[in-house]
Structure 1
Amino acid sequence: MATDGPQPAKKIKLQHNSLRQNALFGMGNPLLDICAVVDKDFLDKFEELVKKFKVEYYAGGSTQNSVKVAQWMIQQPHKVATFFGCIGKDKFGDILKKKAEEAHVDAHYYEQNEQPTGTCAACITGDNRSATTFKKLSLRSLVANLAAANCYNKERHLDQKENWQLVEKAKVYYIAGFFITVSTESILKVANHVSENNKILGLNLSAPFISQFFKEDLMKIIPYVDILFGNETEAATFAREQGFETEDIKEIAKKAQSLPKVNEKRQRVIVFTQGKEDTIMATADNVTTFPVIDIKQDEIVDTNGAGDAFVGGFLSQLVHDQPLEKCIQAGHYAANVIIRRSGCTFPEAPDFH
């Protein structure tokens, strides 16, 4: 049944209540986010970005953003979050490693020489204020080059004993759907470990094209997924591709929740965000709605990264074995913080209670 407000808190039981390093594992496409205020004439010449403008660097990419936010929310101990992905052996790779370290994320990158480190340039036009403090800018353009992120190699990295031991240490796992385009076999190896050991795997639908053009690989992974994230657009596309024959997001959540599952000891949870509208959560028992935190339109700086931040906040409480209700509240809090700033950045410490 559907309800209009939060229901009695539910917990997803973890195997251990104590929080330790490497308890949260993420695997995805690492990108070095490069943020700069530029002039309009520059947008067609973004390779000049670093040479011409003052830039700021951040550890980026969808999954890395989420584990970075989770680590920020957790604060202590440092390096609860582990991250795997592929970068190049170059200057940007060195900067990315430094930025991950500054975020207290235990990043173990597969480094190779074939492709340069992936980047995402955020080019901000219309104002000359700092890229992290601006309020009223006319345009923000994102130009991504996945490059090395597409080169992750299961045999050369995930299968290595020292790396697989880090996978085994975790109790909560999260992978954005974008990584399906890179290494489905890596996801499935992790997914099998999670299922066999009754741990928790979260997956994000990430973008409509994943459900459309990578449907076969996505549906190989879905049976292992304990928590499925997505927004309203991604949910609608997933429903069409699966033949759900409904456009009602609550019905979509219910149908997705009931899809076949390998580990029947855990009931799947569906979490769909809808921007400023209520977040939808479906469990085996019911569908619940959770209102987001109110924010004035003129306080919104940048909505890019809000979805990643929501997942990060959610995961920060999940690793503490908190009720699902609190996980969603933390997700709303983290997203609310991030949309008040440029890029997926945050203040020194959270203020979430």
Structure 2
Amino acid sequence: MTIFSKATQLVRKSSHHQLLSTMTKFTGSLVGMGNPLLDISADVGQDILDKYDVKLDNAILAEDKHVPIYKELVDNYSPQYIAGGATQNSIRVAQWIMTANGKPGQTAYFGCVGNDSFGNQLEECAAADGVKVHYMKDESTPTGTCAVLVKDGERCLIANLAAANNFKPSHLETDESKAIYESASLYYIAGFFLTVSVDALKIIAEHSVANNKTFCLNLSAPFIIDFFADQVATALEYADFVFCNESEAEAYGKKHELGDDLKEIALKIAASPKKNEEKKRFVIFTQGSTSTIVAHDGKVEEYKVVPLPKEDLVDTNGAGDAFVGGFLAGVMAEKSVGDSVELGHEAARFIIQQPGTTLTKPCEIKL
């Protein structure tokens, strides 16, 4: 049986098709752009991590040696199939919170999928979560997938971008795309998209600067920082908010010889060159259950994380995405940065008690 025939967990009712057709005009405030992927998530042993030469708490792009893992998970591990992709996850979480607080239709998302059942399922899932998606459809390449290897609550991600890698800037030049992103005031793009199209990112980012809107960037993974340094440097100049976790912060510090003090690294990123000088940059480093660091205008603050009992931890996959989603919901609701960080903590705390970035339970987060 193929991966496609086994992905029954994403099947949605026909009412969601109706929802898709009614979500035509976007009047919300947040737009994301990234790599839409179908997560294939399974609990595995150390043997699988060793077999494919991967480590927990890391995210990589699939190489030839990783290609067999998708079939192996399907054949031997009864995986879960979850709508994924870092940016799309954050947008879904932000909308989940906004909807629960009486503000539906606040988010939209761009990405590229195949013209196949997985692409259709991703679109239906996003619509069911209240997100307006405007995917570019690739007729010749299948929708991207991500192997999510979970062990003892920690995870490793192996992404096979497939169609997601084929997003073109021309998609943003259509009337519908322009109407969507010109309506928004807040933009979010994860660093994973820097491997796909810096030119597309610049269209959104330059619109943001020209109109004094807010652009947010996530550094996403150490390999992005190490191997796509020029692309990161280009994107960083547009960023009003920069997110990453401690391992990505350490990688950035090492790459740019900024030392290993995370607070100092955050301050130096905050002070680096910026296109829109009217807004001073905020740099936000999450550290799992350790305090979140926020650097801004030469100062650093720390926000404590309420620890989760180990027995309640299900899966750390999506914790960082959920944090950003909660934070962006706070920005949309015009909360302070400190309050937005706390919203991020609440969202991440919820997600790590779920398998993957699943939003099947009611949101109890209050804005």
Tell me the TM-score range normalised by the shorter chain: 0.7 to 0.9
The C-alpha deviation readout for 1:197-228, integer Å capped at 9, x for no partner, is: 11110100101111111111111121110000
**1:130 alignment partner in structure 2:** none
> Within the alignment, does 1:147 sit opposite 2:153 as a pair?
no
**1:33 alignment partner in structure 2:** 39
Q: How far did 1:21 drift? A: 3.7
Change (3 A) 1:140 1:63: closer
Amino acid at match of 2:90: S
Q: Distance in 2 between matches of 1:37 and 1:225?
A: 36
**1:240 alignment partner in structure 2:** 254
Change (3 A) 1:95 1:36: farther
Residue in structure 2 matching 1:316, options 324, 329, 337: 329
Q: How far did 1:237 drift? A: 1.4
Change (3 A) 1:247 1:154: same
> Within the alignment, does 1:109 sit opposite 2:135 as a pair?
yes
What pairs with 1:178-257 in structure 2 (closer than 5 Å)?
178-244=192-258, 246-257=259-270
Q: Distance in 2 between matches of 1:139 and 1:211?
A: 22
Q: Distance in 2 between matches of 1:110 and 1:197?
A: 25
Q: How far did 1:343 drift? A: 0.5
Change (3 A) 1:107 1:264: same
**1:7 alignment partner in structure 2:** none
Q: Secondary structure at the match of 1:193?
A: helix
Which 5+ residue runs of structure 1 have no aligned equivalent?
1-19, 126-136
What pairs with 1:1-353 in structure 2 (closer than 5 Å)?
21-35=27-41, 46-47=70-71, 56-75=80-99, 76-122=102-148, 142-155=157-170, 157-244=171-258, 246-353=259-366
2:153–2:314: 8 Å Cα contact kept in structure 1? no
Q: How far did 1:348 drift? A: 2.9
Q: Secondary structure at the match of 2:365?
A: coil
The C-alpha deviation readout for 1:173-196, integer Å capped at 9, x for no partner, is: 000000000000011111111011
The C-alpha deviation readout for 1:72-107, integer Å capped at 9, x for no partner, is: 111133231100000000111111111111111111
Amino acid at match of 2:91: V
The C-alpha deviation readout for 1:326-350, integer Å capped at 9, x for no partner, is: 1000000000011111101234322
Q: Distance in 1 between matches of 2:244 and 2:160?
A: 23
Q: Comparing 162-171 with 114-123, which one deviates more in the overlay?
A: 114-123
Q: Distance in 2 between matches of 1:160 and 1:70?
A: 26
Q: How far did 1:144 drift? A: 3.0
1:338–1:344: 8 Å Cα contact kept in structure 2? yes
Q: Distance in 2 between matches of 1:51 and 1:94?
A: 23
Which 5+ residue runs of structure 2 have no aligned equivalent?
1-25, 52-67
Amino acid at match of 1:93: G
**Runs (4+) off by over 6 Å:** 37-43, 137-141
Amino acid at match of 1:32: L
**1:6 alignment partner in structure 2:** none
Aligned residues between the structures: 321
Q: Distance in 1 between matches of 2:69 and 2:257?
A: 43
Amino acid at match of 2:189: I
Q: Secondary structure at the match of 1:99?
A: helix
Q: Distance in 2 between matches of 1:24 and 1:174?
A: 8
Q: How far did 1:51 drift? A: 7.3
Amino acid at match of 1:342: P
Q: How far did 1:140 drift? A: 6.4
**1:128 alignment partner in structure 2:** none
Q: Distance in 1 between matches of 2:223 and 2:118?
A: 28
Highest RCO, 1 vs 2 (Cα 8 Å, sep ≥ 6) = 1
Q: Distance in 2 between matches of 1:25 and 1:240?
A: 32
Q: Secondary structure at the match of 2:111?
A: strand
Change (3 A) 1:239 1:60: same
TM-score normalised to the size of structure 2? Answer: 0.81
RMSD, aligned α-carbons: 2.4
The C-alpha deviation readout for 1:269-325, integer Å capped at 9, x for no partner, is: 000011111100011051000001221112111111100010000001101111111
TM-score normalised to the size of structure 1? Answer: 0.84
Q: Secondary structure at the match of 1:224?
A: coil
